[in-house]
Amino acid sequence: MSLTLRTISREQHLAYIQSLPSASHMQVPAWADVKAEWRSESLGWFDKSGELVGAGLVLYRQLPKLKRYLAYLPEGPVINWFAPNLNDWIQPMLAHLKQQGAFSVKMGPPVIIRRWDASSIKQGIQDPDVKRLRDIEADFIEPRAFEVADKLRRMGWQQGEDGGAGFGDVQPRYVFQVPLANRSLEEVHKNFNQLWRRNIKKAEKAGVEVVQGGYHDLEEWQRLYEITAVRDHFRPRPLSYFQRMWTALNSEDPNRMRLYFARHNGVNLSAATMLIVGGHVWYSYGASDNVGREVRPSNAMQWRMLRDAYALGATVYDLRGISDSLDETDHLFGLIQFKVGTGGQAAEYLGEWDFPLNKLLHKALDLYMSRR
């Protein structure tokens, strides 16, 4: 199978993504507008008959003072990763990116290796010998994923460190997902742990209401998000980022991004953003106030978002990143505990991979990043 690769228009790119069951929200053309500080390009793979069979959004970040770039395909490219001739897909991409002045390529194959059910994770948490997800036997293993990793290594790709220093955002290797395909909502609700079900009921009894917001509500979102940032010790993104995200994504597809608030007695207590690409729905950013936690606004909001995802015909509700640490003293442990309560599954992706086109510059970048 001979494949050719060339730059495609955003329209072609979007039409291709829309023809698929789903793709990462970071591989839609509009994501380029969200990441305005990067130069971007849409790539297309064509088969012999001239049909578009794969696409990738590339973000280019220029090295300080040099006309050389890091080329980044977050959670992409969107190609047939299990093709026997993976080389025929990857080589033309590397050649093209080199021509564009890339000194290094970073990509995140959207390939899941392992899955663990909530019940297995719960048992693992109770076992003092279990420190990480990997210490628990997986409930599902994708053997083809190991072949992909093998092929990439043989081509000269290097596996990035878990949560390693990316130029910009490193995508989570471990995520938590609630599968919705071929399940009733009753079944999904039954799978929540007791605490979740109790908290949803508590919020209902207290009169918590969950509403959808619009662009004009992003300032209120930002207020809650900045309270969260102070509490959880992270650097918040500016309001302009979320405004840009809203405008860019929803002008591509009016239902690409949503905003939710859980309120009690007219006061917003928690908020979240939701992203939708085909059958894949993500809970992307969350925020909450320091007050009003006793009425369980976050549980109420998640349950509403999950029901809305279900009504959209989603096959998966994705709660995004978790740490793989199951150590109760770990500061991220609360996050996995909260997500495990939904009765879904933890999933491990292949992670991010780097290909140094210029070994010297690649090494210099690594050094520069490690000192930051």
What DSSP string describes 113-160?
Answer: EEEEEHHHHHHHHH-TT--BGGGSPPSEE-HHHHHHHHHHHHHT-EEP
Amino acid at 119: S
Dihedral (CA of 156, 162, 165, 169) sign: positive
Nearest partner of 322 among 342, 305, 307, judged by Cα: 342
Average pLDDT over residues 1-30: 96
Distance CA 2, CA 42 (A): 20
Size of the chain in residues = 372
Whether the model clears a pTM of 0.75, i.e. scores above it, the answer is: yes
Say what the pLDDT of residue 74 is.
96
At residue 359 the predicted structure's pLDDT band, cuts being 50, 70 and 90, is confident
- DSSP-assigned letter for residue 315: S
Say what the pLDDT of residue 283 is.
97
Residue 119 has pLDDT above 60, yes or no: yes
Beta strand 102-107 with 69-73 is parallel
Say what the pLDDT of residue 371 is.
65
Q: What is the pLDDT of residues 218-261, one digit of tens each?
A: 999 999 999 999 999 999 999 999 999 999 999 999 999 999 99
Say what the pLDDT of residue 69 is.
94
Q: What is the pLDDT of residues 156-200, one digit of tens each?
A: 999 986 543 333 457 899 999 999 999 999 999 999 999 999 999
Q: What angle do CA 247, 170, 137 make, to 5 degrees?
A: 120
Q: What is each CA distance from 56 to 24, 73, 109, 282, in whole angstroms?
A: 11, 7, 11, 20
Say what the pLDDT of residue 242 is.
98
Contact between 277 and 24 (Cβ < 8 Å): yes
